[in-house]
Amino acid sequence: MAKAVGIDLGTTNSVIAAWEGGEATVLPNSEGSRTTPSVVAFTDTGERLVGQLARRQAILNPKGTIYSAKRFIGRRYDEISDEAKAVGFDVVADDHGNARFEVRGKLYAPEEISALVLRKLADDAAKQLGEKVTEAVITVPAYFNDAQRS
């Protein structure tokens, strides 16, 4: 039977937990850590790294390393000028005025980057639990507006 999990998708780090033996248990990731950096990197060779591996190479690949993606979820480009100045990667507007990340000529939505972090968490949890994760509850910050919640 598949397990349901709870995920705290954080701006800096994320955590996944499962209900076991009447209590929530934080599940370690494939690197053995209880937290996973909410970071995704795209290397020069076309490789995609998520979590600790992505964070480790950030200094050498600042334009290809996306972090703090959660700050941009569901937001328009004209709303995020301060946030865009605070990061080392390129934040641009798409054809509809939405905030996007440009990496090596390709645009990524903040939701896509967050989905990659969520996928890593779920895959690592499945290995730890010995069964596929099919359902999850994901935290939503109280300050998110309706567009960000959707």
Query: What pTM was estimated for this model as a whole?
Result: 0.93
Chain segment 24-50, per-residue pLDDT in tens? 999 999 999 999 999 999 999 989 999
CB 56 within 8 A of CB 150: no
Tokens representing 94? 């798409």
User: How far is residue 42's CA from residue 37's CA, in Å, rounded to a whole number?
Assistant: 15
Q: Give the start-to-end residue ranges of the domains of the chain.
A: 3-140
Chain segment 126-149, per-residue pLDDT in tens? 999 999 998 999 998 888 988 888
| Cα separation values, 101 from 20, 37, 72, 92, Å | 38, 18, 9, 6
pLDDT score recorded for residue 1: 58
Q: What is the mean pLDDT of residues 60-75?
A: 96
Tokens representing 123? 């895959």
In the CATH scheme, what is the code of domain 3-140?
A: 3.30.420.40
pLDDT score recorded for residue 21: 83
Strand 23-26 and strand 13-20: the pairing is: antiparallel
